[in-house]
């Protein structure tokens, strides 16, 4: 994440901050030097939701854990004919 936008900057330039959010993915917004909200782009939110959905799959998470410990054996996939 890049620099934090202030609430006053948000009020003054919503369009500019929306474009920045689309480019950066997430833009933190602060009030009195403290982050109070995050602007999140559609693409970033879709990715976060997809990740959360995948993490609910216990079989998949068990396989990921096994892979990280080197316990998964891979086989070569034959070329299509």
pLDDT tens-digit series, residues 27-66: 998 888 889 889 999 999 999 999 999 999 999 999 999 9
Could you tell me the pTM of the whole model? 0.64
pLDDT at res. 2: 59
Q: Which helix (H) or strand (E) holds 32?
A: none
Alpha helices in 4-75 (DSSP H): 7-12, 14-24, 42-55, 58-68
Whether the Cβ atoms of residue 21 and residue 38 lie closer than 8 Å to each other: no
pLDDT at 1: 62
Sheet containing 5-6, strands listed edge to edge, beginning at the edge strand earlier in sequence: 5-6, 26-31, 34-40
Average pLDDT over residues 2-14: 74
Q: Which helix (H) or strand (E) holds 71?
A: none
Q: Which pLDDT belongs to residue 62?
A: 92
């Amino acid at each position: 994440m890049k620099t934090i936008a202030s609430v006053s900057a948000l009020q003054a330039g919503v369009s500019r901050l929306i474009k920045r959010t689309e480019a950066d993915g997430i833009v933190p917004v602060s009030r009195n030097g403290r982050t109070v909200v995050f602007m999140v782009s559609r693409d970033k939110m879709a990715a976060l939701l997809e990740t959360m959905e995948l993490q609910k799959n216990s079989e998949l998470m068990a396989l990921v854990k096994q892979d990280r410990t080197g316990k998964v054996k891979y086989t070569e996939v034959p070329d299509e004919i």
